[in-house]
Amino acid sequence: MTGRATFAGQTGGVRMAWRWIALTAAIVIPMAAQAATRVEEVPLWEISAQLERGAVSSEAVTGAYLERIAAMDRKGPQLRAIIALNPDAMAQARASDARRRQGKALGPLDGVPILIKDNIETQDPVATTAGSLALRDNVGGRDAPVVARLRAGGAVILAKTNLSEWANIRSTHSISGWSALGGQVRNPYALDRSPCGSSSGTGAGVAASFGAGGLGTETDGSVVCPSSLNGLVGLKPTVGLVSRSHIVPISHSQDTPGPMARSVRDVAMMLSAMAGSDPGDPATAEADAHKQDYAAPLAQASLKGVRVAYYRPATGAALAERFAAALEVLKAQGAELTEVAQPELDGLGQAEHEVLRSELKADLNTYLAGATAAVKLRTLADIIAFNRANAEAEMPLFAQESFEEAEGTRGIADPEYLGARAKSLRLAAKEGLEVMLAKADILVQPTTGPAWLIDPIYNDQFRGPSASGLPAVSGYPHLTVPMGLVGGLPVGLSFIARPYEEGKLLSAGYVYEQTARARVAPAYRATVDAGAAFKGAVEK
């Protein structure tokens, strides 16, 4: 990390340090119980099974995660994945233990510690900031419905995770994983490499075993990219399967929360709790009719006879080799493979951009208007003015031109916006994924290339392909599963299907995961061979 990146990590440092010290001091870690409790690389499903058997207590498990955070987030590798600890986490863990002793467990997630991205509201006494100083007083005392569903299943809300500020929408030159409140998240596989974003802290934190699993959000790539770069399984659900209420928004057309964890089974267990209709989010009207137990069918998962289309993007030799090996795994498990090309989709990127900037203004204004009275900034224009007034803290590395462009839009009844949304949906769905899936059940391709260097001067230097755009714009589900390492850095394999076919994706991903066993635990290296990583990502 360069000197400037270190400075960026200290922006707002006094406020952040005191917030961290105060929250840490409020949590008493049961050291004796924790010392015998191993959580590193233990999957969520195994934590759940141990709790069910009485082999461990939630108090001990929660204490063990808190101890790892204390040792590694601001010390040691200094991952900066956590923006705030929940001072009520230990009380929640003890309450779970009491329920289990009484035979009243609320479900398989009861007592399991979960990380929550800090643009998702919780009723706990911590702010929901989107990483911005502008929202540091946003303590609303309410759960987003997706959090309420996890809490109703007994999950322990352990901490809020750092993120790319405003979920990477403030500027086209933003740095993935940087926020004014949280500093720069670091990749646990190579500390000078990007964690991607915007769910950067959830990606790095779950990879580092700071929690059993975590919640991210995605508008375009913000669950699947940090999952791929941090060696995780991540699922962007069908838009409308999981509620978006009480989440700091970008786009009602594309936003969705998604689970991130170290195994497919973990993600399936989380999604089973998260999915469902919400009267406050009209897009979820059909969710109750489609939701299911996504974990139970994995035991009978098979790829025999499953029609798999694969798209081979231009990429470097090492990533191409990983992808070819993954295809061989799928074929050996009975999948029927067919290569497809991606249709020419001229104008999709510009149309998506026009949609996002119009919806950002409308949706963020609505969110801020309904925020707690402690939040004095009630419009996007107020946020822009705040950033200008606090430019030294908020904009030391990049500006807010995307916010300013959004403020200049004319609303979501504007014909220009309506035309852009119709065009983007037509290109991504009808002329894009539906063509590629015409004779297939699932589409697979590399999720993206390996992580690039964190660069506070020239910003994100993205390398390699990206599978996120078409499913993001169309609203289709998208799963990424670890595919191994390229130049010492993780890369993921993407599985994409039609709306509400998450069960199909998870079954296919599970068979691949259990056969390939490609995930490698993070090593917390200072750096890796930059040449090997670059050659793995970029076509010669």
Active site residue 331: no
Which conformational region is residue 216 in: left (phi greater than 0), alpha (psi within -120 to 50 degrees), or beta?
Answer: beta
Catalytic residue among 132, 222, 468, 507: 222
Q: Which of 57, 117, 245, 291 is catalytic?
A: 117
Which structure tokens are listed for 26? 């409020």
Nearest by Cα to 330 from 501, 479, 510, 471: 510
Alpha carbon distance 395, 538 (integer Å):
31
486 forms beta bridges with 489
Burial class (CB in 10 A: 0-12, 13-18, 19+), 517: exposed
Task: Please report, as a single letter, which amino acid is at residue 122.
Answer: T
Q: Which of 76, 71, 91 is nearest to 28 (CA)?
A: 91
Other beta carbons within 10 Å of 422: 12
132 is catalytic: no
Nearest in space to 442 (alpha carbons), one of 484, 476, 475: 476
Assess whether 466 carries a catalytic annotation: no
Which residue bears the tokens 């540091």?
Answer: 136
Q: Out of 48, 164, 174, 198, which one is annotated catalytic?
A: 198
Distance in angstroms (rounded) separating the CA atoms of residues 486 and 198: 22
Q: How far is residue 434 from each of residues 12, 419, 460, measured CA to CA in Å?
A: 47, 20, 31
* CA distances (Å), origin 15, targets 18, 129, 223, 395: 5, 13, 28, 16
Answer yes or no: are the C-beta atoms of 377 and 390 closer than 8 Å: no
Q: How many CA atoms lie within 13 A of 91 on its CB side?
A: 7
Find the length of the chain.
540
What is the set of active-site residues? 117, 198, 222
